Structures are given as C-alpha cells and as structure tokens.
Chain A
Amino acid sequence: MTQPIVQLKDLRVNATTDSGRQVEIIKGISFDVGPGEMLALIGESGSGKTTVALSLLGYTRTGCRIDGGEIKVAGHDMAQLSEAQRASHRGATVSYIPQSAAAAFNPAKPLIDQVIEAAHIHDVMPAEVAREKAIELFRALALPDPETIGERYPHQVSGGQLQRLSAAMALITDPRLVIFDEPTTALDVTTQIEVLRAFKSVMKQGGISGVYVTHDLAVVAQIADRIAVLKAGEVQEIGTTEQILHAPEHPYTKELMSAFEPKAFVGAATDLAPNPTPVLDVKRVFAGYGPKGANNMPAALILKDISFDLMPGKNLGVIGESGSGKSTLARAVAGLLPPATGQIAFKGAELHPDLQDRTKDQLRRIQIVFQLADTALNPNKPIGKILGRPLGFYHGLKGQAREARVDELLDMVRLPKSIRHRLPSELSGGQKQRINLARALAADPELILCDEITSALDTVVAAAILDLLKELQRELSLSYMFISHDLSTVEAICDDVLVMYKGEIVERMPTAQMRDGAQHAYSRLLVSSVPKLDTHWLDDLQQDPEITAQFSRR
C-alpha cells in the first residue's frame, strides 16, 4: 500500500488566553490522508478545524502552540522541524488556499508576482517558466484573459476570480498537499459552482491530496472523499462521504445533518380580513448613494423601481447575490437611506423617506436587526442596559417596570435572566444574535427587517434562531422582511419571496414554488446553484452556459 501523504497522530494545540491561561483547543486528533485523496474537516466555528488545517503547514496563529503529537506531511514531521525547515515546506510540499482570497492578496502588488512568489522563494523554477505555468493554471481554472489577468492588482478582479487565483498561487509549485480553508464561503452560490468545478478538475489532474475545511455539508458532498467531523477540538466521527451523509453514527453528526435538512414552511394560520391593509406598501422606489444628479437620481443608483407589499402576519423573503441591493432595500424601508423617489407606506399611512422626519411611533413600529450582532451591540454596555435603552426611549419605562420588562424580553428570546449583567463579549454568537433580536422586540414592533441575521451563525444555532422567530411571530403577530442569500433559510420562514438582481425585483413568488416553479431565468439559475447533499450533484448539474454567463459576473 502506498504511503499516506498526511499522517496526523495525536495532535495537541494549546492556546494562551488574554488572561494568560492555557487552554487546550485541539485535544489529540489523528487522521491520515492518502495520495490523491480529499479529506474534509467539518465542524462549527470554534471546533478547531482551521487550527488543525494550519498545523499541517507547521503554523499556528498568534497565541497558539503545537504542544504534542506527530504531523507527518510527505514524510516530514512538521512538529519537529525548525522554523526555517518548516518554511522550506510551506508553499512547496504543502500549500494553502485561504478563506478570503480578497484579504489574502497584498493590495499593493500585481497578482502575478504573488502567484509565482512561492516558486521564487523555493527556487523551484526560473521566473519565466513560473509565469508560463501560472498562465496555464489560469487557463485550467477557467479565468478570463489568462495571458494578462496577472498584470492586474487585486482590486481589479472579482471575488470569484481572486479565489481561483489563490488556487493557482497554491498550485504553482506542484505541492503534494493543498489545504483549503473554507475557500467558497465568501462567494455567491452561482460563483461557488464554477470555483468548486475548477478546484475539482485541477486536483484530479495533478493527483494532489487535499484537506478541505468547511462548515457547509453540501459543499463537502461535492468535493470530499472522506469526512472528519470535529467538535471542541476532537474528532467525533470519520468516514467516507457516503457513509457520513447517509448513515451517520455519532449523535453530533446526526444533529448536524438534521439542522441541514431544509424545513418546509407552514404559514401562520392567520385569518386575514377580506381586504387587509398591507403592513408595508412600497411603490416605485429608487434609491442609491452619492450626490444627486440632474434627474434627481443619486450618482450610484442601487434600487431601481422597487414595488412590493407585505400583508400583516406574513413574511417576505428577499434573496439575491451580494451587490443585488437587498440590504439597501432594508435601509430604504427603515429610513436610513431616504429613497430618491417613490413612496413607502406603513399600514396605509405614508412614511416620510428620511428617518429624521418620522414620528417616534412610526420608528417604534418598524425595527431592523443587523447581520453582525458583534458590531450592532455596544461592547461596553451590559445586556440589561442595551435592552433597557429602547424601553426608556419608546415607552418611557423606568426603574422597576423597565427591569421587569427586560426580564420578559430575555425570557422571550429564551435566555436566562442572569445574562443581563454580562457584556456582549461574554456571550456566544447565537446568544448575541438573540439579544440583537430582543432589542428590536423591546420596541413592540409590528414589522422586523432581518438583514442576514443567521448568515454568521453555525447551522445548528441558525436553525434555533429561525425556530425562535417563528414562535415569536405566533405570539406577537409580527411580520418579517427577511433578507438572506441563503435560500434554505428563506424557505424555512417566508411565505413569499422576492428575487433581486442588480437592484431590481426580477420575480415575486410563493416560497413553496421557488424550487420548481420559478419563472425568471435568473431565479432558476440561483435556485439550481444551491448545492445539494448529493455527491453527484455537481457532476450532474446542467446549467445553460448562456444564462450563466449573462447573470454571473465571473
């Protein structure tokens, strides 16, 4: 039998916390990766999957230290080598494809210099040969203008292109092993397909082994031969992709799988009056950023002729890729970005476009919840203060009454009362998002604008937040406008869905019809691009290349 490329035995990594305490974050992990094999490491944030992947390069982030075990990569034990010896393998024997290629390219240098840098450092080939090879790789990775794209700077190419360029950067030295660190997480679904295909074919051609770190099971299904499920620095289960996906044994793997299953939405059985007034009625809104031009339109027009309505007790999903204007729409409805023209009416009464000119009661009835609770919550205020502020502002609650209401709110979002004395930094991501939601609830709103509120959360946590939203809706008769790039999230909570593309609504349809009954070509492309938990999905996927080229900016 051929020697495995990676032999990881009992890896232990320690981290030193800010207070100087030692914490073991990787608690004895072992696995092998054979030649040409792709192993996926899956797990939630904090499970240690990136730490394990980086240790294969003999590298740890600041504050972490490899504390024991054997990290054999192509026969060399990275744990035992000196720093200079490790550096001689990094980029040569084993290379790395980062999560955010946009951040991993030096903004001040042309792309080609960075792509062939590893070849230069390890002196494996002359610069001219490396350039030729890079151009070949660009071609293999289906990059446009392979001859000249390298002369550009990172800000001159798109995110999907950067991700493929980073693959070329990793492959330039013909490494034995490539580490993929969530390389498609930051990409739109239609772009992700192309990148995954490119990775797969290049790896197969070169017979290169890979370790693929991700939290997205559907992506793993397309690309991995075997899967290792990580939690809290330990391997829970390791097996072939088929086995993990279809016959998981460990309870944690089962939990992950069930959180991933799409849940069909059963609309709240609210009996509507014969002719109800919509909660939100948006008519012919144009909005954008920058100074207004001659035709009274802003220089960068984002929203173009947006009209829709939302009935009480119903939920409206807004989907589309990054840059399609989803978040701008939420900002326009909230009054944060006054539209250039058009009307926004709330329960039949027209709202002033600018937040400043709306009444306090109008402000109270529409609340917005932002994507990142980390940045939306004041890090220096305890939870009690954060929730007490809107109570005082909107309802004039003071003292005992305010305290009692804070407790009620915490109870509503299923958090213990004791949490009120803590600071946001002392809570987990899911807890913070619940506080973020509770702050919106404090105003007693009728409409909540949810801007990608589950995107930064792990699958299991996000599923729990969605359940909470549904419960709250039943109890408080709320309406949600739910913005997301994740179709299954929208499916789980929305009655209707708006598909946005380049600032326009291309289609509105009931969510139940989204998978099969989408009419517009772009909606169909978007829906068909969402990976499925099926190992043959990517290989079998047929998309009309003309439509793909038309709608995706690759």
Chain B
Amino acid sequence: MNTIILRLIAERLGVMLVTLVIVSFTVFAATQLLPGDVAQILLGQAATPEAVAGLREAMGLNEPAIPRYFNWLIGLTQGDFGLSYVTREPIADLIAGRLQNTLRLAAITTLISVPLALSLGILAALYQGTKFDRVVSTATVMIISVPEFMVATLAVLIFAVYLKWLPALSYANEVTSLWQLLKTFAMPVITLTFVIAAQMIRMSRAAVIETLNTPYCEMALLKGASRRRTVLIHALPNALGPIANAVALSLSYLLGGVIIVETIFNYPGIAKLMVDAVATRDLPLVQSCAMIFCFGYLMLIMLADIISILSNPRLRT
C-alpha cells in the first residue's frame, strides 16, 4: 500500500458519494413525477375530496418538494428511511427482511456462477478455436439471447410440472433443513446463473484473448512456454482488471434486476417489494429501494476498480 493507491481509492470514494447524492435527487424527482396520488389510492374510490385533502395534509404531502427532499436526505444519512405511506411501518423494517432474502439469493448465485463462469471463460480462451471453445461461445450467445422469463418458465415447466422434483414457488422463510434450502433455491439460482454467467464467460474470454495478443505473451511462447502456462502466468494477471469489471457489472444485476425471477418464483426479495411499492404509490419505499440498488451497484464497481488498481504493479510498487 502506498499513498498513490490510497489517494486513488479516496478519489473513488469521493466520486461514489457525489454519485449517490445526484442519484438521490434524481430518484426523488422521478418519484414526484409518478402519476397518481397516494391519498386517493389509500382511501379508495369512495373517498370524498375533503377526506383526500385531509389525509394529504396529515401526511405532509402539501409541503414543497425541496424541503421534503432535504428532510429525506438527512434522514437517509442517519439511517432513517422514514415511514411507509401505506402500512405506516418504518421502511427499515419492511426492507430488512426482504433485503436479507435478496442478498441470500445473490450470495448463493454468486458462489456458483462466478467460479463457473471464470473457469469456463478462461478455459475457452485457453482452447481458443477448438471445439470446446466453439461450444461454450455458441451456448453463451444463445443464453444471452433468451430472455430470463423464458428460462425461468422453462425451468418451472421441466423441474416442477413434469419432473416434479422441485417446488414451483420459493418461500424462503419456511426453510427448515439444508435439503429444503437447496430445493427452494435451486430454480431461481439456476435461472440467475444462466443469465449472469453467460455475460461473464464472454467478457473473461475476451479479456484473456486480448491479453494473449500482446507482445509479452508472444514472448512467453517464444521462450518455450506452453499455451496453458502463457494463459495462466502471463495473460491472466494482466486481464484481472477487465474481468473484475465484467463480474461487478453482472453481479450488480442480482440486486436490482431480478424482479422477473422474483415474480415468477414468488420469491420475497427486495425487487418485488419495490414493484409492489410502485403499484401502491408508496413513494418513500420506492425511493429507499432505488437508493439501496444504487449503493450496491456503486460498491461493486468500486470493488472492481480497487482490484484493477491493486493488480497494476505501476500503481502498487
């Protein structure tokens, strides 16, 4: 560790904070523009205009947007997400359980998909042009092209409807044994792994092959190194930066982009919570979910940046 690295990391952190503030403003502004009125929805069709106006007043919706934004932002920095408009419960409580579910699904998917994808990508680069490489490359293109709801639906059809091996729905809260846990998570994890691994395989293969075309990899071959040695010792350490970025981009999808998978398997994750919140115009909840997604995304990108920085000896030494 030296001062340059510390400075670079501090810079990334600063950029991350600024981004978060900008995103918070955008999210707040966007939710204000959503059509529909929460008071109207809460009271239903039969409500009188007076009742709606009264509720709006009580919920503080008549205050100007700018003070409300700053109140919300100050609350966020203190860990106070505010109250849900719909259930009047603290949003932190609503999110906590759901976030845990999402993180659990994301963690299991990561543990399976990242090693799998990286090994396949690196192997494909190692055996570039062979039958193995062509099979992997073609398969990944096909999987990328198939929308995930299709993969999810097919998985349900095959494993739940015809084979009856797995439950079609995943109630993560009712898990009692490891076997049950595996069964519950199998289908969402398989679907998500398909979606994110394909992208990672392609990117890591491309990154390694690009590095293989450099003069120092040619030099390694001319020193008598086997292709395997050239890939593992010479190409891979220099491809770490791009690979880390590809992995971070793919994993960020596991936080916010899993709504289709959560819906199909009825998995109680945070993405589903956010969509439900949009339907009920529960604006504080929507905003909080959006901020959490953004934060997770930025964290992943920053981690990838730090890995790239640390893998570069020009900065390290």
CB contact between B314 and one of A62, A98, A118, A155 (< 8 Å): that residue:
A155
- Let me know if B221 is at the binding interface, CB within 8 A: yes
- Let me know if B224 is at the binding interface, CB within 8 A: yes
Compute how far the CA of A156 lies from the CA of B315 in the bound complex, rounded to whole angstroms: 11
Compute how far the CA of A103 lies from the CA of B213 in the bound complex, rounded to whole angstroms: 11
- Verify B222–A90 contact, CB threshold 8 A: yes
Near A by CB (< 8 A), chain B positions 283-317 give 311-314, 317
- Verify B215–A96 contact, CB threshold 8 A: no
- Verify A90–B223 contact, CB threshold 8 A: yes
- Let me know if A169 is at the binding interface, CB within 8 A: yes
Complex contacts, A153 vs chain B, CB 8 Å: 313-314, 317
Q: Mind listing 6 A-B residue pairs with CB under 8 Å?
A: A84-B226, A92-B224, A107-B312, A108-B238, A122-B224, A169-B223
- Verify B223–A106 contact, CB threshold 8 A: no
| Interface membership of chain B positions 221-241, coded 1 if the CB is closer than 8 angstroms to chain A and 0 otherwise | 111111001000110011000
CB contact between B224 and one of A87, A98, A100, A108 (< 8 Å): that residue:
A87
Compute how far the CA of A61 lies from the CA of B254 in the bound complex, rounded to whole angstroms: 42
Number of interface residues of B (CB under 8 A): 24
- Verify B238–A57 contact, CB threshold 8 A: no
Contacts A91-B224, A107-B238, A153-B314 known; list 8 others, CB within 8 Å. A87-B226, A89-B224, A98-B215, A106-B220, A106-B238, A107-B314, A109-B313, A155-B314
Complex contacts, B229 vs chain A, CB 8 Å: 121
- Verify B219–A104 contact, CB threshold 8 A: yes
Compute how far the CA of A122 lies from the CA of B229 in the bound complex, rounded to whole angstroms: 13
Complex contacts, A96 vs chain B, CB 8 Å: 219, 222-223
Compute how far the CA of A100 lies from the CA of B220 in the bound complex, rounded to whole angstroms: 14
- Let me know if B3 is at the binding interface, CB within 8 A: no
Binding site for A on B (CB under 8 A): 213-226, 229, 233-234, 237-238, 311-314, 317
Compute how far the CA of A525 lies from the CA of B237 in the bound complex, rounded to whole angstroms: 42
Compute how far the CA of A153 lies from the CA of B238 in the bound complex, rounded to whole angstroms: 14
- Verify B219–A107 contact, CB threshold 8 A: no
Compute how far the CA of A36 lies from the CA of B218 in the bound complex, rounded to whole angstroms: 27
Compute how far the CA of A428 lies from the CA of B91 in the bound complex, rounded to whole angstroms: 68
- Verify B313–A88 contact, CB threshold 8 A: no
- Verify A156–B317 contact, CB threshold 8 A: yes
- Verify B221–A59 contact, CB threshold 8 A: yes
Compute how far the CA of A388 lies from the CA of B33 in the bound complex, rounded to whole angstroms: 50
Compute how far the CA of A89 lies from the CA of B221 in the bound complex, rounded to whole angstroms: 11
Complex contacts, A88 vs chain B, CB 8 Å: 224
- Verify A98–B219 contact, CB threshold 8 A: yes
- Let me know if A482 is at the binding interface, CB within 8 A: no
Compute how far the CA of A87 lies from the CA of B220 in the bound complex, rounded to whole angstroms: 10
Q: Which among A89, A90, A95 has the greatest number of chain B C-beta atoms within 10 A?
A: A90
Given contacts A107-B238, A108-B311, A155-B314, contact A95 B215 (CB under 8 A): no
- Let me know if A194 is at the binding interface, CB within 8 A: no
Given contacts A103-B216, A104-B215, contact A95 B313 (CB under 8 A): no
Q: How far is the CB of A148 from chain B (nearest CB, A)?
A: 14
